[in-house]
Structure 1
Amino acid sequence: MPIVKHPRATEPLWHEWDRKAQKCGLRHTAYAVNGDQYTGEWLDNLKHGKGTQVWKCTGAIYSGDWKFGKRDGYGSYSIPDPVTKEYKKVYTGWWKNDKKCGYGVTFYPDGERYEGEWSSGLRSGWGRMYYQDGSIYEGQWLEDRPSGQGMLRLLISRLVISSAKQLGGTSTTFTAHHMHDCALSADCKVTLDQWLIQMKSALASRGNSFH
């Protein structure tokens, strides 16, 4: 009786190659076609877990949490200084869907700093902004602008202000040596006269006066 041999079903080689190419779990550095590189954890071929991304075109680095290919969780973002080439931290805090979201700290190139809440990459919620001139705004923000209740602290050190309006035939000037608090409106915009009135009140409450 003849023996019939059935050909064994063979899996295409590309199936095996595809399985080997799938990234899942902790992997060594993976390089993209454009030169970007990522070292860390993967899930179903997506960055997921802890990892560090380096962008070749800018040299920027993100190190922190990822979810399904996007920055999500806690992490820090840094860029290289164009002169010294040393890395400077730009943002440290929470992310969601590849954008700043939750509490975080941003460092600006001119030395200014923001500490507070973010939403969809914009300052939103309660936060404190440190400005280059030494003044500090602390209060509510909405879509990257002061909005709602807040306090602006103006640092005045031997600063002389001349009013644009002549009061009593002479210009109004003053000298102070302290930090004073001024409650501001929603958009944090104050005219010079309004600012002088607020400062006069603040100085008077501390026993100082215009002269």
Structure 2
Amino acid sequence: MSVYRELMIKKSRKSKMLSNKFYSYWGDFTSGQITGKGYIEWPDLSWYEGDVCLGYRHGLGMYRATFADVTYSGKWYMGCKEGPGMLYYSENVNNHYNGEWVQNERHGLGMRSYPSHACYYGQWMNGLQHGIGTMVWSNNDVSTVTGTNFEMVIN
């Protein structure tokens, strides 16, 4: 259980719990709406902790999807990853993306680190590498990469 969730449960005057078959929520309510700071947990034990607005992940927060072994920490806009954020694709710290997001897609400048220790830094569009970037391979060779909507497959 997260520290925030424990604090929210202890501060029962300020926070409330809402639970149904879809999710459980501990946190702030404003005018009867899930708005403020909160913790959401789904039946598969995935969770979100951070800012919420009208029931959506909105503002700064962290989401952990247990079914996919994925963790995202960063900005949200009405339930979508939006703005700067970091997504870990597994427990392996060398398997992540750190950069800009637009409507849940990698978009803008970002850096993708692969389990092989290769790393791509450059432009992204609609979730794919797009434009100009730099690839640093696991043997430290460096390549300039240009293209349109491509995804490098690196093992």
TM-score (norm 2): 0.80
Q: Deviations over 1:60-115 (max 9, x none)?
A: 11000011221110000114479xxxxx6610000001010000000103731000
Q: Matches of 1:27 and 1:72 in 2, distance apart? A: 18
Give unpaired runs (5+ residues) of structure 1: 1-24, 83-87, 157-178, 191-211
Report the structure number with the largest CA radius of gyration: 1
Among 16, 22, 32, which residue is 1:28 paired with? 16
Map of 1:181 onto structure 2: 142
Identify the structure with the greater strand proportion: 2
Q: What RMSD, in angstroms, separates the aligned Cα atoms of the two structures?
A: 2.3
Identify if the C-alpha distance between structure 1 residues 103 and 189 changes in structure 2 by more than 3 Å, giving closer, same or farther.
Answer: closer
Q: Matches of 2:22 and 2:103 in 1, distance apart? A: 28
1:78 lines up with 2:78 in the alignment: no
Give unpaired runs (5+ residues) of structure 2: 1-12
Q: Matches of 2:98 and 2:34 in 1, distance apart? A: 28
Matched to 2:30, the amino acid is L
Among 37, 53, 59, which residue is 1:50 paired with? 37
TM-score (norm 1): 0.59
Q: Matches of 1:132 and 1:89 in 2, distance apart? A: 14
Q: Which has the higher contact order (CA 8 A, sep 6+)?
A: 2
Residues 64-75 of structure 1 aligned to structure 2 (within 5 Å): 64-75=50-61
**What percent identity do the matched residue pairs reach?**
26
- Return structure 1 stretches of 4+ with deviation > 3 angstroms: 79-82, 187-190
